[in-house]
A and B are shown apart, each in its own frame.
Chain A
Amino acid sequence: MNAPTATLPALRAEAIAKAFASGATRTQVLDGLSLSIHAGELTLISGPSGCGKSTLLAILSGLQPVDAGRVFALGTELSGLDGAALEHFRLQHTGFVFQGFNLFPALTALEQVELPLDYLGLSRRQAREQAERSLEEVGLSHRMKLKPAELSGGEKQRVAIARALAKQPQLLFADEPTSALDASNGQMIIDILHRIAHDHGTTVLCVSHDPRLIGHADRVLAMEDGRILSDRRLSPPHALHGVGP
């Protein structure tokens, strides 16, 4: 039997703890949290603001170190890597989508997507083709030559997704990707993230308190006060698309 639960998780946290000091006060955001996230799924972490979900995302994506515990991503222990190695790991394996789209005002949609590919060492032509494919995938092939000022909010977020997607990462992290968007644009972004998980076998981890997202995720983790309150699977686990352990 080849049940997905038997495969190695793409992301795994073991008893991680994280605290922030602000002046004399010290806030324990995460305390002994453990969880596993699987490939080929859109996993949603939801919860009220301040519950620690963004910190969890930062730790699982290798943007922040843990105080205690261990983090594994694609079989690599992130907690053992230094800054340069973490940068390299992120370059090779991870994509990010943020709430603010963070696009360079001077660059066209195509250039925004091409830029990180240049640093991957792709040839100019390869980078260009890969960027075009990625923009096509988010339905922006007709808007490639436009700069952010000429794009709508939804389109900007789709460019940001294309930028994250173009590297063909195995891990895609999204932080409140829909909260700056209206209903229809939000829906479109959710659909795209969902499709990325299912079509590419990408591990998509999304942090949001947007209730519209809940119905579309494969798995929803509800967080509060640094702990996971519930872990619901809304759709049966997907067969993994060629992403083995």
Chain B
Amino acid sequence: MVALARKTLLHEWRRFLPAMLAVGFAGLLQLLQAALVLGIFGSASVYITGSNGDLWVGYPGTQSVNLGRAIDPNIQARLLMDPAVTRVEPFIWLDADWRGATDTGGESVFVSGIDPRPDGLLFARALSPTLRARLYEPDAVIVDRADIDKLGVAIGGTAAINGHTVRVVGVSSGLRALGGVNVLSSLATARELDTDPGDNGQPTYLVAGLRDPAQAGAVARRLRGDGAFGPYQVWTAQAFARRSVLYWMFDTGAGAGVLFLAGIVFLVGAVITSQTLVAAVAGSMREYATLNALGVGVGALRWVVLEQALWVGALGLAGATVLGAALLALAREQDVPVVLNLPVTLACVVLALGLAAVSGLAAIRSLRRTDPASLLR
């Protein structure tokens, strides 16, 4: 079979270039947008995804990890009664006001009080054992390296949280927060910083490690509904992380904005691509009409156009992949929160190929004007 679609594409690549660029850029925009959304809203759950806990226990109905309320510390005993639970760590999360040494005004910070022991569950994936050991020092805090300028402080410098002096003992990476700045401290320091008399030093969450993490779902179900120790709810780490991200994505309106933008990108890409393909088909109309005169069916000619559209999509995507990989690497280097996973990448690829196919179908409509009798006049 003569590869008419492919050979025409190669020979007249200039004619198809705008379509390839349109598909490529549409794909790239969707991909980067998805990576940013996952990265930014993913940071809402950094407390969970940066830690090793299998179960999170918090106040009933908590919609996102940053909206927790203090729970009874005695629930820890209830959790430890379950044979599947090997250890439980308290986690204190509180809103606070930061005043840097230089004149940066007030800054809203989220203090995470954790157990600094080397094998602690919380932030096990974000902090090295030596770094977390520095939190044993009273009033010691760790911040993200991307936030250090904003906080107006250097390593070793001091600042005030809720009027209490703290000292920055180190910086980490990948701990940027949504709508504020994450500050890590020991549980003891966090209790010092908590000015809410109602909290009374109680933890916001209890985080449990399990003997077999694969059993997390079953254990969480088993631990629910026991009110003897006061109100609490149990989520698996995965479920609680997803709950937090979805809250930010959809209950804040940001997700709707992103979806709207994705729709616009798709529409603009489809318009440009289909117009280019229509023009390319129109340019070969006499040749297609001749083939039709020779008895090659319109259906077969449609396949040629659709094949061309899919090649345009594939080539555009190939370009987008190269450029996208470079841009994502640059973003990571600049501490821009970007995250990409396989399902989302595949969804973007399917979307871009769908865009090319839709444009191809639009171009196919113009084949209806292929009337071989018109060649005789």
Partner of A116, one of B10, B294, B377: B294
When the two chains form their complex, are residues B376 and A54 in contact, meaning their CB atoms are under 8 A apart?
A: yes
- CB within 8 Å of A: which of B1-55? 1-2, 4, 7-8, 10-12
Residue B291, interface by CB 8 Å = yes
* Interface bits A139-159 vs B (CB < 8 Å: 1, else 0): 000000001000000000000
Query: What separation, in Å, do the CA atoms of A88 and B294 have in the docked complex?
Result: 9
B239 at the interface (CB under 8 A from A): no
Known contacts A63-B293, A105-B12, A116-B291; decide if A175 and B376 are in contact (CB<8 Å): yes
Choice from A84, A124, A163, A207 contacting B294 with Cβ under 8 Å = A163
Q: Quick one: which of B1, B284, B287, B294 has the most chain A CB within 10 A?
A: B294
Say yes or no: B376 contacts A57, CB within 8 Å. yes
Interface residues on A, range: 35 or more
Least CB distance from A161 to B in Å reads 12
How many residues in B have their beta carbons less than 8 Å from beta carbons of A? 27
- Tally of A-B Cβ pairs under 8 angstroms: 90
Is B300 at the interface (CB under 8 A from chain A)?
yes
CA of A111 to CA of B1 in the docked complex: distance in angstroms?
9
What does DSSP make chain B's interface, helix, strand, loop or mixed? helix
Of the candidate stretches A6-14, A95-103, A189-197, the one touching chain B is A95-103
The residue that A102 contacts in the complex, of B289, B373, B377, with Cβ under 8 A, is B289
Bound form: Cα–Cα A54–B374 in Å:
10
A116 touches B295 (CB 8 A): yes
Identity of the chain A residue whose Cβ is nearest the Cβ of B298 in the assembled complex: A87
Minimum distance in angstroms from A65 CB to a CB of chain B: 10
From A55, A92, A102, A111, B295 is in contact (CB under 8 Å) with A92
- Which residues of chain A are near B293, meaning CB under 8 Å? 61, 63, 90, 94, 96, 98
In the assembly, what is the distance between CA of A116 and CA of B372, in Å?
15
Q: A57-B376, A115-B291 are known contacts. Are A106 and B10 too (CB-CB below 8 A)?
A: yes
- Answer whether residue B325 sits at the interface, using C-beta atoms and an 8 A cutoff: no
Task: Find chain B residues with CB under 8 A from A88 CB.
Answer: 295
Question: In the bound complex, do residue B372 and residue A63 qualify as a contact, i.e. CB atoms below 8 Å apart?
Answer: yes
Q: Please list the residues of chain A having a beta carbon within 8 angstroms of any beta carbon in chain B.
A: 54-55, 57-58, 61, 63-64, 84, 87-92, 94-96, 98, 100, 102-107, 111, 114-116, 118-119, 124, 147, 163-164, 167, 175, 207
19 extra interface residue pairs, beta carbon distance < 8 Å, beyond A100-B375, A105-B11: A54-B377, A55-B376, A63-B376, A84-B297, A88-B295, A90-B293, A91-B294, A94-B294, A96-B372, A98-B290, A102-B286, A102-B289, A102-B375, A104-B287, A111-B2, A116-B294, A116-B295, A118-B1, A119-B296
